[in-house]
Amino acid sequence: MSRPRFTNKLILFLVALAAALLAIYLFWSFEYSIKTLLEHRMGTTPSPSAGTIINAVKLLLIGILAYLFVRALNFLFFGLAFRLKRIDAPTLIRNIFTIVAFTILFLIAFTFLFPEVNLGALFTTSAIFGVILGLALQDTLGNFFAGISLQADRPFQVGDVIVVSAERHTGVVEEISWRAIKIRTFSNHVVLIANSNAAREPIEVCSRDNLNARLVFFNTLYTDSPAKTIHVVREAVREAENVSSRVTPIVRIKNLGDNGVDYEVKYWLEDYAKYNDTDALVRQRIWYAFRRAGLNFAFPTRTLYVERPSRTAQRDGDGGAIVERLSAVDIFAPLSVEETGMLAQAAVRHVFAPGEMVIRAGDPGSSMFVVHNGRVRVQVNENGRPRTVATLNEGDFFGEMALFTGEPRTANVVAIEETEVLEIGHAAMKRVFDTNPDLVESLSFIIAERRQGLASQADASTPETDSSAGLLSAIKRFFGI
């Protein structure tokens, strides 16, 4: 409970208590005068009806005081004592306590004020009372006992996601009271489901302690290989945020459909309450992975056939932009227009989603990358946590260290925003080195500088870095120059 709300409630309680005490004090002080007035109005002295009215008012006032007392007791016991022991008392238990304590106090006051009334006989013999109780409290008692069985059974707890009733209300459980289960839907609406209804309906419980799974569907063209699709999607999905790393996602063919091959990917979530966002992220990752791997979503083929330009034609189409990009990269400055064109011909475009990893530290590498659009960050792992050592913008390059030295990747490179990179492979680089050996020199200088940067950020366990001259001969050896 927030502080201002608590203070407001306390003030309200104290005002109500003061008003009840004042009313009791005044009524008791003027009891004799009120009784005389009543008897005078009724015309009989002494009048038994006047006495009954006085006692009924007294019972009402004592009832109000008893109610306030029980509320205070409830707060002290469940609100403070339970909290001190770090236990959250269920609302239903609190309500039962309030009802039982209030009933006991009320009955004590009743027997004290009306000693001549036999309560036992009133409850057991009054047929009217039974009918009223039976009819009026039918739903209330149904909810109450269903609530007790829910508390005893504990099929779900506050914080779990549940799907309940024929309307399939889905949301996070906020409270289980004596009357209803309160859930907050993913549209931030509150839905109250009467306990008796919930007890009749099947309830799907996605408990917080359980590793809950989701299914996301997609399809591909019949020409796309299932083995490749399954591998690409599995790798893309397992990396997504909130996808549990404890179980590897399962990708499988669901159907050979009219338009293409239908797949489903089953993945497990760390926090099930965020499944809408995670489903969306998984679909996004599948889209980007498809784009990079050259896979295609299926489209209705019955009525429409869209002829796509071939990949080569597409590349020729933006060849100019790639040549322009590569010639602006400083290490390629010594290359002639023809040599840059050769490199551009061999370059492969890839697009990455924000947050996706382009390169992972420790992986083997046989290509380097130029940032065509977007931005990436270079991260090293420090005490198990990633630390950014550089941000690279359009026209910058990375991945050259592993490509030229044959060592594993030295850092993670992660897309900051949607980023398109141009990948240049070992064979293309070798062709360029053969025609322009000067390039090896400027590259070895940059690699030595970056290594120095990494070594100065890392701990003492990092091996000694090679000098630019040592690197130069290592690269030449590696490329057979």
Told to check if 357 binds ligand CMP by CB under 6 A, we report no
For residues 357 and 403, is the Cβ–Cβ distance under 8 A? no
Segment 431 to 450, residues that bind ligand CMP, using CB under 6 A: 450
Is beta strand 376-382 parallel, antiparallel or unpaired with respect to 412-415? antiparallel
Min CB(344)–ligand CMP separation in Å: 20
Told to check if 351 binds ligand CMP by CB under 6 A, we report no
The three-class DSSP label of residue 436 is coil
Told to check if 359 binds ligand CMP by CB under 6 A, we report yes
Q: Compare residues 172 and 447 and give the one whose CB is closer to ligand CMP.
A: 447
DSSP letters for 200-221? HS-EEEE-TTS-EEEEEEEEE-
Q: Compare residues 249 and 365 and give the one whose CB is closer to ligand CMP.
A: 365
Told to check if 335 binds ligand CMP by CB under 6 A, we report no
Counting Cα atoms < 13 Å in the Cβ hemisphere of 423 gives 15
Q: Compare residues 146 and 402 and give the one whose CB is closer to ligand CMP.
A: 402
Per-residue DSSP letter, 366: -
| Structure token digits, residue 283 | 């679909």
Give the whole-angstrom CA distance, residue 421 versus residue 303.
36
- Which of these ranges, 151-159, 160-168, 402-410, 431-439, lies near ligand CMP under the rule CB under 6 A? 402-410
Told to check if 413 binds ligand CMP by CB under 6 A, we report yes
- Which of these ranges, 177-185, 328-336, 340-348, 399-407, lies near ligand CMP under the rule CB under 6 A? 399-407
Binding mask 72-101 for ligand CMP (x = CB under 6 A): ------------------------------
Contacts of 179 by beta carbon, 8 Å cutoff, 6+ apart = 140, 143, 144, 147, 192, 194, 195
For residues 91 and 68, is the Cβ–Cβ distance under 8 A? no
Q: Compare residues 356 and 400 and give the one whose CB is closer to ligand CMP.
A: 400
Q: How many CB atoms neighbour CB 212 within 10 A?
A: 18
- Residue of the chain from 229, 365, 444, 448 that contacts ligand CMP (CB under 6 A): 365
Q: Compare residues 89 and 446 and give the one whose CB is closer to ligand CMP.
A: 446
Q: Compare residues 265 and 347 and give the one whose CB is closer to ligand CMP.
A: 347
User: Of 73, 48, 58, 59, whose CA–CA distance to 27 is shortest?
Assistant: 58
- Which of these ranges, 30-38, 102-110, 336-344, 396-404, lies near ligand CMP under the rule CB under 6 A? 396-404
- Residue of the chain from 281, 295, 376, 401 that contacts ligand CMP (CB under 6 A): 401
Distance of CA 70 to the CA centre of its chain: 39
User: Of 46, 43, 29, 102, whose CA–CA distance to 70 is shortest?
Assistant: 102
Told to check if 454 binds ligand CMP by CB under 6 A, we report yes
Give the whole-angstrom CA distance, residue 381 versus residue 362.
11
- Residue of the chain from 390, 416, 458, 474 that contacts ligand CMP (CB under 6 A): 390
For residues 402 and 408, is the Cβ–Cβ distance under 8 A? yes
- Which of these ranges, 57-65, 90-98, 307-315, 403-411, lies near ligand CMP under the rule CB under 6 A? 403-411
Question: What is the strand order of the sheet 367-373 is part of?
Answer: 348-352, 419-425, 367-373, 397-398
Name the amino acid, one letter, at 26: L
Across-strand partners of 263? 218, 253
Min CB(147)–ligand CMP separation in Å: 59
Binding residues with ligand CMP: total (CB under 6 A) = 17
Told to check if 410 binds ligand CMP by CB under 6 A, we report yes
Min CB(463)–ligand CMP separation in Å: 14
Told to check if 370 binds ligand CMP by CB under 6 A, we report no
Give the whole-angstrom CA distance, residue 218 versus residue 195.
39
- Residue of the chain from 17, 67, 453, 458 that contacts ligand CMP (CB under 6 A): 453
Q: Compare residues 402 and 471 and give the one whose CB is closer to ligand CMP.
A: 402
User: Of 163, 203, 157, 155, whose CA–CA distance to 176 is shortest?
Assistant: 157
Q: Compare residues 33 and 461 and give the one whose CB is closer to ligand CMP.
A: 461
Q: Compare residues 149 and 391 and give the one whose CB is closer to ligand CMP.
A: 391
Q: Using CB under 6 A, list all residues that contact ligand CMP.
A: 359, 365, 378, 389-390, 398-402, 409-411, 413, 450, 453-454
